[in-house]
Amino acid sequence: MTWKDPEIRKQKKREYYERDIEESRRKSRETNNRWKKRHPDKYLESAKKYRENHHVKVLEITRLWRKEHPQKSKELSKIWHQNNREKVNAEKREWRKNNPEKRRLIEINRLKRIQKAYNFETISKVGFALTIWSKKIRTEYNNLCQVCGKLAAHTHHILLKRFYPNLALNDNNGIPLCIECHKEVHGKLKVVEIPPLPSVDFARRGV
């Protein structure tokens, strides 16, 4: 039996790791990092293969990491979405196309939250109230987009109504935008520099 024997090599390696686990892990990390820097293409290819072959395990590790680092996970997710907007929007469009019933239920639930916040009798009255609110905001700004000066077709909620249903009909929570600028604000087009939105004084309305 020699060092070339795989069983002996495994045994020696196991003994080495057991002597000083932390030191062994540190050296292993350093060796792996050096290899990654020298062979970035091979590393990405091997990482991709590993994820494909251990999909469930990778998802479980990812969930645990996100649970332990919620703030960092949120920041990284935001950066990734900003850098991959076209991919994200394409996936959203595909999901909406394949799940029309789920999309309808989501919209109904959003309207129900507004209905509850404002004590409307029916959901249809919520839609009617949002239409009146939108026209009122655009009229106050002479139907002009507050970013580019074009004709405003939409009224954007500064604080999104799905997160703040109690502010969905507040006069200070709207700003008129054209279709292109509204898409930019929601990240559906490439990011451009947009002037700051007007200050919102909710206290003025007793909100």
C-alpha pair distances (Å), 17 with each of 21, 27, 28: 5, 10, 10
pLDDT at 197: 42
Instruction: Assess if residue 105 is contained within a domain.
Output: yes
Range of the domain at 162: 90-205
The DSSP-derived string for 87-134 is: HHHHHHHHHHHH-HHHHHHHHHHHHHHHHHHHT-SSHHHHHHHHHHHH
Instruction: Assess if residue 31 is contained within a domain.
Output: no
Instruction: Assess if residue 143 is contained within a domain.
Output: yes
Q: How many domains does the chain have?
A: 1
Residues of the chain whose pLDDT is less than 70? 1-4, 17, 19, 188-207
pLDDT tens for each residue of 139-148: 999 999 999 8
pLDDT at 4: 65
Phi-psi region at 159: left, alpha or beta (left = phi > 0; alpha = psi -120 to 50): beta
Instruction: Assess if residue 37 is contained within a domain.
Output: no
Q: Which two tokens stand for residue 86?
A: 């076209």
DSSP reduced 3-state for 174 = strand
pLDDT at 188: 66
Displacement of CA 55 from its chain's centroid (Å):
22
pLDDT tens for each residue of 176-185: 999 988 888 8
Q: Which residues contact 117 (CB under 8 A, 6 or more apart)?
A: 165, 166, 168
Instruction: Assess if residue 141 is contained within a domain.
Output: yes
pLDDT at 187: 72
pLDDT at 154: 92
Residue 205 DSSP one-character state? G
pLDDT at 205: 41
Answer yes or no: pTM beyond 0.85. Answer: no
> What percentage of the chain's residues is helix, strand, coil (to nearest 5)?
70, 5, 25
CB 129, CB 169: distance < 8 Å: yes
pLDDT at 157: 92
Specify which residues 174 forms β-bridges with.
157
CB 193, CB 184: distance < 8 Å: no
DSSP reduced 3-state for 189 = coil
Instruction: Assess if residue 66 is contained within a domain.
Output: no
CB 201, CB 162: distance < 8 Å: no
Instruction: Assess if residue 8 is contained within a domain.
Output: no
pLDDT at 168: 92
pLDDT at 189: 56
pLDDT at 207: 39
Instruction: Assess if residue 9 is contained within a domain.
Output: no
